[in-house]
Amino acid sequence: MAVSRHTRRMNLIAHGVGLGFALFSVLPIVWLVITSFKTEAEIVTDTITFLPQSLQLQNYRDVWAQSNYPSLMWNSIVTTFYTVTICMVAGSLAAYSFSRNAFPLRRELMLFYLVVRMFPAVLIIIPLFLILRTVGLLDTRFGLSLAYASFLLPLFVWMMKGFFDAVPPDLERAARIDGCTRIGAMVRVVLPLVKGGLGACAVFVAIGAWNEYLFALMLTSSAGSRTWPVGLQMMVGEFQLPWGLLAASGVISILPVVALFAIVQRAMVRGLTVGAIKG
Amino acid sequence: MNALAIRNIQKSFGALKVLNGIDLTLEEGGFLVLLGPSGCGKSTLLSIIAGLEDASAGSIEIGGREATGLHPRDRDIAMVFQSYALYPSMQVERNMGFGLEMRGAGVDERKEKVGAAADLLGIGALLERKPAQLSGGQRQRVAMGRAIVRKPRLFLLDEPLSNLDAKLRTKMRGEIKKLHQSLGASIVYVTHDQVEAMTLATKVAVMRGGTIEQIGAPMTIYREPDNLFVAGFIGAPPMNFVRGRIVEGGGFAPDGGGDRITMPAMEHRLEPGREIVLGVRPENLRPIPPGVSPEGLLRFNAVPDVIEPMGADTMVHFRVGQSELIARLDGQTEVSGSAPMELGCEASALHLFDATTEQRLRPA
Amino acid sequence: MGVGVDSGRRPFTGGRLGRAIGAMSETRSWPFLLIVPSLLVILLVVLYPTLHGISLSFREMRLTRPDLGTGFVGLRHYVDLWHDDIFWRSLANTFKWVTLAVSLELAMGMISALALNREGPLMRICTVLVLLPWFLPNVVAANMWALMLDARLGVVNELLVRMGLIDSYVAWFATPTSGLLAAVFIEAWHGYPFFTLLILAGLKAIPKDLYQAASVDGAGSYQAFRNITLPMLRMIVVTAVILRVISLANSPELLLILTGGGPGDSTQVISLYAFKTAYESFDFGYAGALSVVTLLLLMVFCVIYLRVSRVLEK
Ligand SMILES: Nc1ncnc2c1ncn2[C@@H]1O[C@H](COP(=O)(O)OP(=O)(O)OP(=O)(O)O)[C@@H](O)[C@H]1O
Ligand SMILES: [Mg+2]
């Protein structure tokens, strides 16, 4: 049959193309991992070797022992934790309200939560710098996480609203008749049902905060609050680059991202799409 | 004492008026069915009774106690939702006992009461399951069970059977009737299925567009519908209507031509020229053997269009003027297509409505 | 024993505070109360800073020159901007940068999504892998590619030479044109999964029977794509393009790390220029003016783009 042969050929091509894109996406990351296991001599060479001669862990040891990377990571962890907490508390409540209530100006408010994404980062960074300096939160992890909330909280609200929308409102009505208050119905009946979505949104926000560079560069300056992206970039000197060290730091830093993404990717992809399509 | 008394309840969503002044009462142990087409405000009314929505105006008394403005928790009611609204994250046992839990009942008390309710409904074996692991009928039972565990004063049921297949629906209908009798509870039941209304209710309120068109015992509503809408809504297949006018000599001329119909002697005073609607229930029509002309019958000359033998009954479709009519005849009746026949209806089973007001004409 | 024990006589309500919140949740203002925390945060860290930033663009504010004060200077920054060659070059670069990157990402996203829109575990795994770059931090992505494109050590050069596509190693970031193109390429690698994700979701939402009906009518796969897929995807593509344009125009992160604007200002975009003005020269007033211009241009873009693509009318 002509049609089915045509379809099969299309299918084959599609698989080829899909696989091609997957490789295109992943191979650079693989190269980063490979590089991190090479010695400096193997990297800085005239004849490139594709695989390391032996699995060198020296770069990782150096990152761990000889740089301030652990403390940079710790700062990032704390900042990320603050950011996720702010988003989870403030964002879930707002998303729930948007999902459940028809009140005046609801549409306009939600639109406003979207529009704030249009404001240039620099336009926000400068006054934030001044504000944080005034209230004494400049160069602190909490101040940085507040800044992160400026672009992550609106996203969180939109994504989370999609998950709340999927829960039938009759459940809260039933819970209220069973004796719950409104907040009780939300906590006891609705939240358990959006656990997956909440986790995905939290991971999304966590990744965003973990990866951020620009705000961190501007709003932190001391070792006590500097996050790893800024620290990593500071390793990039003017002339001789410590490629092995950089690669190892990079691998360590993206490990949590990849792990978290792998765990919640399905729910997160759904949430992202819902948020983005509706927005 | 009344289990429920509602006075002048009104409700608007923004500019949309959904309920325009509802008044009704339900006596203790009664079974009130709210019946009406989709969107007429039945669920809204139920939500207001439950306290899930606030009425724009009016007041509610439950069990002789003012309930307007009370939290749903404090109204001593239970509700069964069309979607069942079982908590997906909880096992059946916790689902059923959740209301008790929220009221501070201890584990033992909960176990005992849930167990008793489960036995009554035959779902004792399902207590460990999550709602997702239940069939539609089982979910329905759990939802009923959750309502009866607390032994509330008033049950509110919003189309509890509409998600079941026809067979299960008939079965559950019987069970609800039995439950009502054994619990002696007062029930408000929303449906747009008039069979459910007829079989279950002690009292039916037929609603349309946010108002109650008629309220009364099911058989009263069946026998003496107040207006065209109620007459057409109750009964399956629905009542036949023929529009036309009274002519000199007491006859009836259907709109759009067709044979003039001789009206039986009636107590109504119908002056010639008056436009009316003639209503005849399909089950009130019966064949008149050729050559016989009994007195006191309204008679149609019918040429069957479609004949539907259904076993016990045979449905015969025919036309009078512009109207299509259905007769529900005994399954034994010999009917052959295209052979003219005469169908008659007792004068007492005839319904007359004013063509413009659509209200029932009562004997003067 | 505390109140929170499930077996207790009273249900868990979180103590007195919990009951107070519970009572609050029954009031009419509850929907607004829920929004208050997030609204406060957003007003505080977004709206107020933005308005403040706009007002700064009309004032003098140089942290390195406190002697100048912070007085109102009217439109002076905007006038300066008009006569600033770097600004005009940045504007042109921004235009090139955003257009090239978004077109490339859209094309790659569309093709990959069409390919990945099949059943089966292989394509599911591929989808996850394709999405991976998007979650990579700019810092890692930029430095990783800097190494791979390095003029002496770069594996890309090695591969291209082995394939016979170039004769000898190329210093990609040495000339303005190749520098910009290399940056666009890296941005595309980093950003195309966003389009894949959204378009894939859009494709999955198209009812299958539309295609069956079309094939019964004798439409080939290209016609089906033209007449069914593209129209159904329009809303999503427009949304994705807008979001992407906004973030590309607003965030200088990748270029800041990768090129710092070079070589020879060829990747100096407005957002980067603004950031450097703020971060290196601490001239907050001028940086504010640059950002306000970005914001205005973006707003104009959104309005025109929505009008041209006519998605809102339907
Ligand atoms: N929250 C709301 N906001 C606006 N309009 C509403 C709302 N809830 C219900 N309505 C409208 O009120 C009317 C009555 O709705 P209701 O749900 O009470 O109808 P119903 O009789 O239960 O119908 P059905 O048989 O389909 O369940 C409908 O027109 C509906 O659109
Ligand atoms: Mg309803």
C22/A181 touch (CB, cutoff 8 Å), yes or no: yes
Give the confidence band of C104 by pLDDT, cuts at 50, 70, 90: very high
User: Which site among B16, B79, B91 would you substitute to test the A interface, given the most A Cβ atoms closer than 10 Å to its Cβ?
Assistant: B79
Q: Tell me which of A259 and C67 has the higher pLDDT.
A: A259
- Residues B3-61 have pLDDT tens digits of 999 999 999 998 999 999 999 999 999 999 999 999 999 999 999 999 999 999 999 99
| In the predicted structure, residue A209 carries a pLDDT above the cut 90 | yes
Take atom 18 of ligand 1 and give the residue whose Cα is closest.
B41
Q: Concatenate the DSSP letters of all residues of B137-203 into one string.
A: HHHHHHHHHHHHHT--SEEEEESTTTTS-HHHHHHHHHHHHHHHHHHT-EEEEEES-HHHHHHH-SE
Helix locations, chain C, DSSP H: 15-24, 30-42, 48-56, 76-82, 85-116, 121-131, 138-148, 155-162, 176-204, 208-216, 221-224, 230-250, 253-258, 270-279, 284-309
Mean pLDDT of B123-152: 93
- Residues A220-258 have pLDDT tens digits of 999 999 999 999 998 886 556 788 888 999 999 999 998
pLDDT for the residue A188: 93
Mean pLDDT of A112-120: 84
Ranges for all domains in chain C classified under CATH 1.10.3720.10: 85-309
- For residues A194 and A92, membership in a common domain is answered with yes
- Residues B184-194 have pLDDT tens digits of 889 999 998 88
pLDDT for the residue B351: 93
- For residues A29 and A112, membership in a common domain is answered with no
Distance from CA of A89 to the nearest CA of B (A): 22
Instruction: Tally the domains of chain A.
Output: 2
Q: What is the mean pLDDT of chain C?
A: 87
Q: Concatenate the DSSP letters of all residues of B188-239 into one string.
A: EEEES-HHHHHHH-SEEEEEETTEEEEEE-HHHHHHS-SBHHHHHHSSSSPP
Take atom 5 of ligand 1 and give the residue whose Cα is closest.
B13
Query: CA torsion C273→C278→C279→C280, rounded to 10°?
Result: 70
Give the confidence band of A274 by pLDDT, cuts at 50, 70, 90: low
- For residues A148 and A197, membership in a common domain is answered with yes
8 Å CB contact between C131 and C196: yes
Give the confidence band of C313 by pLDDT, cuts at 50, 70, 90: low
- Residues B219-246 have pLDDT tens digits of 999 999 999 999 999 988 899 999 998 8
- For residues A159 and A204, membership in a common domain is answered with yes
Question: Domain of A118: which CATH number?
Answer: 1.10.3720.10
pLDDT for the residue C1: 33
Q: Tell me which of B119 and C309 has the higher pLDDT.
A: B119
pLDDT for the residue A2: 53
A174/B71 touch (CB, cutoff 8 Å), yes or no: no
B71, B102, B103: residue with CB nearest C26: B71
Cα separation, A193 vs A180, in Å, equals: 16
3-state secondary structure of A20: helix
Cα B82 to averaged position of ligand 1 atoms, centre (Å): 14
pLDDT for the residue A279: 37
pLDDT for the residue A140: 95
| In the predicted structure, residue C75 carries a pLDDT above the cut 50 | yes
Distance from CA of B54 to the nearest CA of C (A): 11
- Residues C86-98 have pLDDT tens digits of 999 999 999 999 9
- For residues A261 and A181, membership in a common domain is answered with yes
pTM of the model: 0.87
Partners of C195 in the β-ladder = none
C250/A86 touch (CB, cutoff 8 Å), yes or no: no
Take atom 17 of ligand 1 and give the residue whose Cα is closest.
B43
Token reading at B189: 């039941």
Chains with 3 or more CB pairs closer than 8 angstroms to A? Answer: B, C
Chain B, residues 140-159, CB within 8 A of chain A, namely 146
- Residues B278-287 have pLDDT tens digits of 999 999 999 8
Take atom 8 of ligand 1 and give the residue whose Cα is closest.
B44
- For residues A97 and A228, membership in a common domain is answered with yes
Nearest bound ligand to the CA of residue B208: 1
In a domain, A43, yes or no: no
- For residues A25 and A159, membership in a common domain is answered with no
Q: Residue A179: give the domain boundaries.
A: 68-272
Q: Tell me which of B87 and B319 has the higher pLDDT.
A: B87
Minimal Cα distance from B155: which residue of A? A177
| In the predicted structure, residue C142 carries a pLDDT above the cut 80 | yes
Look-up of token digits 């959750």: B146
Mean pLDDT of C230-240: 85
- The CATH class given to the C85-309 domain equals mainly alpha
pLDDT for the residue A168: 92
- For residues A133 and A217, membership in a common domain is answered with yes
Cα C124 to averaged position of ligand 2 atoms, centre (Å): 41
Cα separation, B136 vs B168, in Å, equals: 9
Query: Given CB atoms, is B72 within the 8 Å cutoff of chain A?
Result: yes
Mean pLDDT of A105-118: 85
ipTM of the complex: 0.88
- For residues A81 and A8, membership in a common domain is answered with no
Query: CA torsion C46→C47→C53→C54, rounded to 10°?
Result: 150
In a domain, A60, yes or no: no
Give the confidence band of C6 by pLDDT, cuts at 50, 70, 90: very low
**Burial (CB count <10 Å: 0-12, 13-18, 19+), residue A9:** exposed
pLDDT for the residue C206: 82
Q: What is the mean pLDDT of chain A?
A: 88
